[in-house]
Amino acid sequence: MVNYMVNNEINIRTAEYTDIPAIYKLVQGLAEYEKEPDAVTASLADYKASFKEGWWSSEVATLDQKIIGMTIFYRSYSTWKGKMMYLEDFYVDADHRRLGIGEKLFKSFIDLAKKEKCVLVKWQVLDWNEPALNFYHKMDAEIQKGWWNGLVRFTEEK
């Protein structure tokens, strides 16, 4: 854990295009934490292009203007419930955990969803990730079981 002076302040703000390399690095850190370091196949260029196209949004946590945490999310629609946001990724750098940064980031994401009049937010959490499960329970989140993920993968033709 990094020690820092009490008057250093953690800020949560909307991510900007120039933040994308730092966000991408945090995504790679998340993949390593989840024991899938080779699973990140989207490139930094992919991130930049899709951010410009509005595919995803992000908030970042900064300390001394260095990005140390982030959320990546997008707007979606529940055909049963209405407007929602999907939290794709949520990560705080390992050296800055247990300082309340994750709680600030998560609450900021929740506040944004409320401001945009969403009726729910959704995300996934791995069943073995006890620290994350404990965190979400602390945040009064409901962890649903019984829904399986479906997906179709597309590969680029060479």
pLDDT at 4 over 50: no
Tell me if 5 is assigned to some domain. no
Tell me if 144 is assigned to some domain. no
Domain count across the chain:
1
Tell me if 151 is assigned to some domain. no
78 near 118, Cβ under 8 Å?
A: no
Tell me if 87 is assigned to some domain. yes
Q: Does 77 qualify as catalytic in the annotation?
A: no
Query: Minimal CA–CA distance to 122: which of 155, 77, 158, 91?
Result: 77
Tell me if 43 is assigned to some domain. yes
Q: 65: domain CATH number?
A: 3.40.630.30
Among 33, 74, 86, 136, the one annotated catalytic? 136
- For residue 83, the enclosing domain spans 10-138
Position with higher pLDDT, 96 vs 148: 96
pLDDT tens track for 142-158: 888 888 778 788 876 54
